[in-house]
Amino acid sequence: MKFPGKPRSQPAASLPLCLILLKILQPGHSHLYSNRYAGDKVIRLIPNTEEEAYTLKKLCHQLKVDLWQPSSISYVSEGTVTDVHIPLNGSRALLAFLQEANIPYKILIEDLQKALEEGSSSQAQRNRRSLSEYNYEVYHSLEEIQNWMHHLNNTHSGLIHMFSIGKSYEGRSLLVLKLGRRSRAYKRAVWIDCGIHAREWIGPAFCQWFVKEALLTYRSDPTMRKMMNHLYFYIMPVFNVDGYHFSWTNDRFWRKTRSRNSRFRCRGVDANRNWKVKWCDEGASMHPCDDTYCGPFPESEPEVKAVANFLRKHKKHIRAYLSFHAYAQMLLYPYSYKYATIPNFSCVESAAYKAVNALQSVYGIRYRYGPASSTLYVSSGSSMDWAYKNGIPYTFAFELRDTGHFGFLLPEVLIKPTCTETMLAVKNITMHLLKKCP
């Protein structure tokens, strides 16, 4: 496949010497993240009683675990499937407690460092990134993704226009691709963002896949042609650019943004709890060290503010908002912050039902679907609820593969099947949008 091809790489001459040396001396996979996860485990447990849940919460707090599922310890109650990433030294204490208390558990990942190294392709394949054909079946760093965006903007100007909607906390550009056939006629639009949470790498991989599919099949596939002719797609492959970059360089399991807080050492805000809709209520934390920290005030994060401003400015023609997360295999729609039925429930529900069926038709992967509050959990200040409240009638959040076997470390060999099936779901929602809702 010749295009969308090679992002032009910087000439070596303009690279600082230390970077050139780094490229030459790039260590093999045994030193990914300086081996920091060696011996760490991911354990799934399900408390049987509220008492067990309470003890578990206390223990998790003491042992400083990294919670993979659910996103906040406050959600853990009787029967909650709980996935925890625990450092080597804490895992002995946790396992001893679980055995003592008779809480059923299962070790999902025996050695996180090993899983990390096995999930990504060998160095030889990795180098294929820079050859003439961009590889959509590996995970890409922020720099590679942004080079790829610039490249498409230069080579596919008929269908693609790239622009920046602002700067991140650390000063990186917040880039968006506008995809679709230019026309003088008024066109409705769909917004798609990926990577609000840094560690959910399959998100940005899907955003890139979507763009590739549009460019490759626009002429041959009638559905795609219709989508490109009748709609614009605003695609933001990496929403949380600072966090995503940090998850490549420092901590693979970082979730939040990277903003600093004056009173605390802990950095970052949960960019999906920072929106002005029931802000910092249930399912969000006021503590800067928590993974679901809502921030000092709504839209405190420049990334959130930039997207909110863009959506506010274009809300007349943006008819759908899709946000991609991992992991859980769910298709969620509002409300997330309360148990209540949205006014256009029947339209949205039938779109979700069809999308999930289309997705399942490919590899038999089952997704649960429904209102986020009752399907996943109640969470306030989310982008999906905010978009809906701001007049976008179809708002969805996808939780992509898997259901915990690999968790955030979805191997690169699963990028293609995951994106292929998700593509069908997105096309389904889009076509639903073009037909007047039944």
Cβ contact 119:410 at 8 Å: yes
Determine the 3-state secondary structure of 199 from DSSP.
coil
> Residue 48 is part of a domain; what is its CATH number?
3.30.70.340
Q: What is the mean pLDDT of residues 4-30?
A: 43
- Same domain? For 168 and 228 the reply is yes
- Same domain? For 88 and 157 the reply is no
Kindly report the length of the chain: 438
**Is 12 within the bounds of a domain?**
no
Q: What is the mean pLDDT of residues 388-411?
A: 97
**Is 244 within the bounds of a domain?**
yes
- Same domain? For 112 and 149 the reply is no
**Is 218 within the bounds of a domain?**
yes
> Residue 231 is part of a domain; what is its CATH number?
3.40.630.10
Q: Residues 117, 144, 303, 399: which is the catalytic one?
A: 399
Total Cβ atoms within 10 A of residue 344:
15
pLDDT computed for residue 232 by the predictor:
98
Tokens of 94: 């946790």
Query: How many independent structural domains does the chain possess?
Result: 2
- Is 303 a catalytic site residue? no
Q: For 321, phi and psi rounded to 5 degrees?
A: -125, 120
- Same domain? For 170 and 318 the reply is yes
Q: What is the mean pLDDT of residues 350-374?
A: 97
pLDDT above 90 coverage of the chain, percent: 83
Tokens of 423: 């593509």
- Same domain? For 325 and 418 the reply is yes
pLDDT tens-digit readout, 38-95: 999 999 999 999 999 999 999 998 998 999 999 999 999 999 999 999 999 899 999 9
Cβ contact 281:336 at 8 Å: no
- Same domain? For 172 and 72 the reply is no
- Same domain? For 287 and 228 the reply is yes
Please say if the pLDDT value at position 9 is more than 60. Answer: no
pLDDT tens-digit readout, 286-311: 999 999 999 999 999 999 999 999 99
pLDDT computed for residue 32 by the predictor:
86
pLDDT tens-digit readout, 136-173: 999 999 999 999 999 999 999 999 999 999 999 999 99
> What's the pTM value of the predicted model, to 2 decimals?
0.91
Alpha helices in 127-279 (DSSP H): 142-155, 202-217, 222-230, 241-249
Distance, C-alpha 264 to centroid of its chain: 26
**Domain extent at residue 100:** 35-117
Compute the radius of gyration of the chain from its Cα atoms.
Answer: 21
Determine the 3-state secondary structure of 23 from DSSP.
helix
**Is 345 within the bounds of a domain?**
yes
**Is 357 within the bounds of a domain?**
yes
The CA distance from 89 to 86, in Å, is 8
**Is 22 within the bounds of a domain?**
no
pLDDT tier at 279 (50, 70, 90 boundaries)? very high
Cβ contact 111:41 at 8 Å: yes
Please say if the pLDDT value at position 196 is more than 90. Answer: yes
- Same domain? For 69 and 184 the reply is no
Give the orientation angle of helix 202-217 with respect to helix 222-230, to 10 degrees: 100
- Same domain? For 81 and 157 the reply is no
